[in-house]
Chain A
Amino acid sequence: MQSTLDPVLCEIVKNALLMVAQEAGIRAARSAGSTFVSQSAEVACALFDATGRVIAQTEVGQMHISALRAMLAAVREDHADDTLRDGDILVTNDPFRGGIHPTDVGAFRPIFHEGRPVFYCGVMMIVSDLGGMSAGGLPATATECFHEGLMIPPVKLYDAGELDQALSRMIRANSRTPGKLGADIDALAAGGNVAARRMGELIAKYGFEQLSAIVEELLDYSERLVRLGIAQIPDGTYRGSYVVEEDGVVPDKTYEVVVAVTIDGSDCRVDFTGTSPQARGPINASYSQSLSCVLFALRCFLDPDIPMNEGFYRPLHAHFPEGTLVNAAYPSACNLRLASGQAIIDAMFRAFALVYPDKTMAASATVHTVNAHGRHLDGKRPYAMLDISMGAAGGRPGHDGVDGIPFFFFVSGGYDRNIEAYEWQNPVRYHRYALLPDSGGPGQWRGGSGVIKDLEFLTDAQITLRATDRSQSKPQGAAGGHPGRGGAWILNEGQPGETVLPAKATNYQVRAGDVLTASVPGGGGFGEPFARDPAKVAADVAAGLVTQEDAMQTYGVFIDRDTGAVDEAATEALRRA
């Protein structure tokens, strides 16, 4: 197993490649037009060798981790090496050829050495708007990819550094925000150009032959570490499943993601046979999206520092039956794919919990989004905004769930986007952005508290609501823990004309002065609520995260209203009853 190459040089090059990917990702994020992206620090970027094997990848972009690799395969299929020129940028967003949904666009830059492409850089981001039936390209009730935005097969946007004006105009003409979209796509290209420059420097420094040999060793290195980690998991087949609620199109129908994880020595097979057929609505996941989710779940049980490259994939054998929720067929809608994606993660966590009952977590909430578009107070200038609420994480043995952010989205904070920026840019006013009391699933380890937002529209607007999942079905508890509180969209709560809106709605018309209350679910609890340390319940009551009533009824803890202290005798009586 030991390599013949200098292990010091390998480590140095490993770090150098990661820095290249990171720099390209930062460069792309900095100049993005989409507020959503530019408020984040970095977008996903990966480097590949001449045959499309991933050799380095940024830390960020969990969602996009496998998509870049799968999309590059499609790019290379359509564009033979001898048709590529230095300075080319190829773009695509086809969910059925490696992509995720049309609004996630990938850009690829071949990197040349001695007249032929020897490496590729891929950069990916969610762009501001690429058409489709609602602003932002996230229609909650879409049934086909055509509803979600312009489909772009792998095409050359830049030919030897020259922008294809016709194509660029064509793409912009399909956007509600052509300026922002143009900046987004330029930003992807800028990232690729930075990577090409830096890779050129590395080739010059180490020589292409030596660099290629080191890359080979880096892939073997990741494979070695992944195999070491998998080999430590007891052999066997472990099954798990998680339910997905209705798709926004077909009422009252639920779905299920089913997985069998087989550990066989240092190999891991993941088979999703038994998963529900794909939905009509947009809750389906594309192949690459599902693969990203599988990788994420697996990495939680391996050494977290293993570099993500082709070697990582070698011991993993994933089967996603075509035409199911986890590998939807053309031309299904996929923008709410995190419904299935997070079910993949929870199904795998449940499978692994059979081996590691102490290293698991109850179900988390999923992301909830509000897209709004309309006009500013002047009645003229158009605006479009995307508001995101994260929901909360599930409880874990020994730890409460994290408030206000679900596990998969840990990479973002709960308050990443400032209210003041939203009120400057859009004719909206927030009245509340807070944790919701009693929303965290009760348990010995409480689920994270969900979130509540009150959002007033100052002008008439069309809103698209995406409660991704678990709004009605609720994030489930584990080991006797209770589910988190579900979600809801309520218009003008407590006012005459109060309206409960569906979990998934596209282009719903609101009027100036309407207030939307968004309740985003709390995480599931872990363990029996009566087993919770009364002092922790008292602390939750003091913090306003659990009400006195819930403390008594659900946790069996009696708290003195005046002192805030636990009444031990009364608590014991309550818990015995």
Chain B
Amino acid sequence: MSIYIGVDIGGTFTDLVLADDSSGLLHNVKTLTTPANPVEGVMTAVRQALEEVGRKPGDVRRLVHATTLPTNLVLERQGARVAYLTTKGFGDIFLLSKQRPVGPDRFNIFYERSPPFVPRDLVVEIDERMDYRGQVLKPLDEAAAMAALDAVAHKDPQAVAICLLHSYANPDHERALARLVRDRFPGMHVALSAEVWPEYLEYERATTTVLSAYIGPMLATYLRALEAALKEFGITCPLQIMQSSGGVMSAAAAARKAAYLIESGPAAGVVASAHLGRVGEFPNLISFDMGGTTAKAGVIRDGVPSITHDFRVGGKTSSGSRDAGEPIKVPVVDLAEVGAGGGSIARVDAGGFLQVGPRSAGASPGPACYGFGGTDPTVTDANVVLGYLDAGYFLGGRMQIYPELSHAAIARELGQKLGMDTVAAAKGIYDLANTHMASAIRVVTLQRGIDPRDYALTAFGGAGPLHAVRVAELFDIPTVVVPPSPGVKSAFGLLVSDLAYDYVATTIMPAGAADCAVLNAALARLEDTGRAELAAAGQGDAAITIERSIDLRFANQALDIAIPVPNAPMTLEIIRQAEASFRELYFETCGMRPADPCQIVNCRVRAVGLVGKPRLPEVANGDGNAGRACKTGRRAYFAESGGFTETKVYDRLKLQAGDRIAGPAIFEEPDSTTVCPPGYAARVDGHLNLIVTREAAK
């Protein structure tokens, strides 16, 4: 009799998925996001969903939330006024900055960095110093520190971030300072680098800490309000929040470690794909999420998403190299993003080549076919001209679109300039958008030493299934999986998420002569903290698992790789095995086998609370006659059939498990459309996933 709810607030829509454990049914709700008061948007969706399924607030057993609030605070620079406390001599770190121009900005005489999150006059330098082993070189001068805090008090800080040099090795000075801050400013939101992310390398540790302080107060306020509203409504289960890593944490922990939430929404989508990897036929998946302005690609190996520790906040991730923006070290699902979505604008450049994106028509004026006054042709317009999107069934028929405007825009802006007819130009837009998305997939696969042909591609987001088969074709990926309701997949990911807390301790030592006692002490300390936080999350039924790893690198290099180690006391033998795995992985990604000795850099612990999930039983095969779902036919463009081809259109909601349909075919559901070209066939599995594969040549 339990209800599970996932709510994902996006830029335009708030998506909710409700799972009813007793019936195994899923129910979707889409409401407009209410930026002024996001609590209201969430509550509207929750109320509506429970009403529609006829259940009571008290039935809700788990509620997980993904929020764009942290991202928006950063992008709009609306976060807290943060005072930053650091070691004397190093207060200018964010003015010196790791930000650099990329792309066209490299030749921009007027380039400006985005300003630091802490203005220089809120930086407080503290007289103290540790060395890299954590030995005190200069004791903390508490009286001077108090005077410095007094001096900054009139600036009225709303949060305090503390990051001292080498505090990963010895947090004493940071802790003592935090006590002084709390005495001086009772109730102040304080973030310590030794608690937020105590990894060596001060720049990244400082940005992670400052971002937590910058986002924390507003996030805490929001989460408290949401918790109160839920409670008042009668939902008593603890509120849990999706982190960038794909794990979930308690609302209280989220407020303390706000930097962990910066990619909350995108992570939820990858978690949905990971779930598909665990319960479906394909444990190895490339997740492909295409929305209105961007497309994102991630990788799931054995049902587990790839994670990066090199995320840059406010930067782009499309090039695969470290890019603009502020680097943070907390785990983030490894997503490559390109500026190609349904709203991306196509144009002819001065040199006579077709370009698609990164400029987007957004929701307003939107693609030309919306009839909101947009005159630029977009990817969506190309899909309309090619017959993939139906003017009569846009957003399930809730929105009127005008194909003639798509034709006119493409003819006017592209066809004439390129000397191509409208359909050829539309096909050009479609193909070029596909190669842009392919470049995102290339970054997370080929550039990471992964052969995409060993993976299936899973498509979601409103526009993903329109392009997925053609994108897969570019890599010879044999299978495309389109889950049901791909437009609300991120919210579904919340339902199937687990609690997870990540910890790091820096323990630099030679791998060949490691001090196992030091490693064991560090790992035990991290594990204890993890168990305590899991207990505090209030999910009593969670089964705890501990995942441990050590980061290894060659002593002459900077590239470190996390290698899993067993849950047993560390021995030199375990380290030897880890080193062998490291050398193998290094060879896979870099193609070299250096003979250099290895170094241990960090110990990592992930404490996972495996949470009870809604039962979503497989459905039995239906009558096998897919004709029941065929609603109409229309002409759609497929080059292999020589152009426009009569194509059957199916109502996806009427498909049953076991159905098989040969391409060309188009599958429509209210939030998305899947294109299955000639030479491919689609079948429906027991979870109602649409599985598209190439047919054997006849």
A residues near B, CB below 8 A? 1-3, 6-8, 10-12, 14-16, 19, 22-23, 26-27, 30-33, 35, 38-39, 41-42, 59-60, 62, 179-180, 182-183, 186-187, 190, 193-194, 221-222, 224-225, 228, 296, 299-300, 302-306, 359-361, 396, 398-399, 402-405, 407, 410-416, 418-421, 423-424, 429-435, 449, 451, 454, 542-545
CB pair A194 B111 closer than 8 Å: no
How distant is the Cα of A217 from the Cα of B589 in the complex, in angstroms?
34
CB pair B428 A403 closer than 8 Å: no
Contact of A1 among B352, B556, B596 (CB under 8 A): B352
Query: 17 extra interchain contacts, Cβ-Cβ under 8 A, other than A38-B559, A304-B106, A418-B202?
Result: A7-B352, A11-B353, A11-B354, A26-B321, A31-B592, A62-B106, A300-B108, A359-B109, A399-B110, A399-B112, A402-B113, A413-B99, A414-B96, A420-B132, A421-B558, A424-B132, A424-B200
- Chain B residues lying within 8 Å of A11, measured Cβ to Cβ, are 353-355, 432
How distant is the Cα of A530 from the Cα of B203 in the complex, in angstroms?
37
How distant is the Cα of A304 from the Cα of B428 in the complex, in angstroms?
24
Asked whether A186 and B592 contact (CB < 8 A) given A38-B559, A433-B90, the answer is yes
Encoded as 1 (CB less than 8 Å from any A CB) or 0, chain B from 423 to 437 comes to 000011001100110
- Chain A residues lying within 8 Å of B25, measured Cβ to Cβ, are none
How distant is the Cα of A424 from the Cα of B200 in the complex, in angstroms?
10
CB pair B107 A300 closer than 8 Å: yes
Contact of A32 among B99, B348, B447, B557 (CB under 8 A): B557
CB pair B95 A404 closer than 8 Å: yes
- Chain B residues lying within 8 Å of A430, measured Cβ to Cβ, are 89
> Does B373 count as interface, using CB distance less than 8 angstroms?
no
How distant is the Cα of A433 from the Cα of B456 in the complex, in angstroms?
49
8 A-B Cβ contacts within 8 A?
A: A27-B591, A59-B319, A186-B594, A403-B96, A413-B98, A418-B204, A423-B132, A432-B90
Residue of A360, A405, A451 contacting most chain B CB atoms (<10 Å): A405
CB pair B435 A15 closer than 8 Å: yes
> Does B615 count as interface, using CB distance less than 8 angstroms?
no
Total contacting residues, chain B, CB less than 8 A: 75
CB pair B594 A183 closer than 8 Å: yes
Residue of B91, B323, B592 contacting most chain A CB atoms (<10 Å): B592
How distant is the Cα of A507 from the Cα of B91 in the complex, in angstroms?
32
Contact of B166 among A8, A186, A413, A420 (CB under 8 A): A420
- Chain B residues lying within 8 Å of A3, measured Cβ to Cβ, are 352
CB pair B590 A429 closer than 8 Å: no
CB pair B100 A187 closer than 8 Å: no
Q: Give B208 Cβ to nearest chain A Cβ, in Å.
A: 13
Q: Give A356 Cβ to nearest chain B Cβ, in Å.
A: 9
Q: Give B382 Cβ to nearest chain A Cβ, in Å.
A: 11
Q: Which residue of B lies closest to A449 (CB)?
A: B95
How distant is the Cα of A306 from the Cα of B350 in the complex, in angstroms?
10
> Does B442 count as interface, using CB distance less than 8 angstroms?
yes
Q: Give B413 Cβ to nearest chain A Cβ, in Å.
A: 14
Contact of B447 among A23, A361, A396 (CB under 8 A): A23
Encoded as 1 (CB less than 8 Å from any A CB) or 0, chain B from 101 to 132 comes to 11111111111110000011100000000011
Contact of A180 among B112, B353, B556 (CB under 8 A): B556
Asked whether A396 and B590 contact (CB < 8 A) given A8-B428, A404-B97, the answer is no
- Chain A residues lying within 8 Å of B98, measured Cβ to Cβ, are 413-416
> Does B49 count as interface, using CB distance less than 8 angstroms?
no
Contact of B554 among A183, A405, A434, A435 (CB under 8 A): A183
Contact of B556 among A33, A404, A449, A544 (CB under 8 A): A33
> Does B151 count as interface, using CB distance less than 8 angstroms?
no
> Does B136 count as interface, using CB distance less than 8 angstroms?
no
How distant is the Cα of A299 from the Cα of B355 in the complex, in angstroms?
21
CB pair B352 A12 closer than 8 Å: no
Q: Give A141 Cβ to nearest chain B Cβ, in Å.
A: 29
- Chain A residues lying within 8 Å of B591, measured Cβ to Cβ, are 27, 31, 190, 193-194
- Chain A residues lying within 8 Å of B93, measured Cβ to Cβ, are 415, 433
> Does B508 count as interface, using CB distance less than 8 angstroms?
yes
How distant is the Cα of A306 from the Cα of B349 in the complex, in angstroms?
10
Contact of B97 among A8, A183, A194, A415 (CB under 8 A): A415
- Chain B residues lying within 8 Å of A306, measured Cβ to Cβ, are 351
Asked whether A10 and B90 contact (CB < 8 A) given A27-B591, A304-B108, the answer is no
How distant is the Cα of A41 from the Cα of B323 in the complex, in angstroms?
8
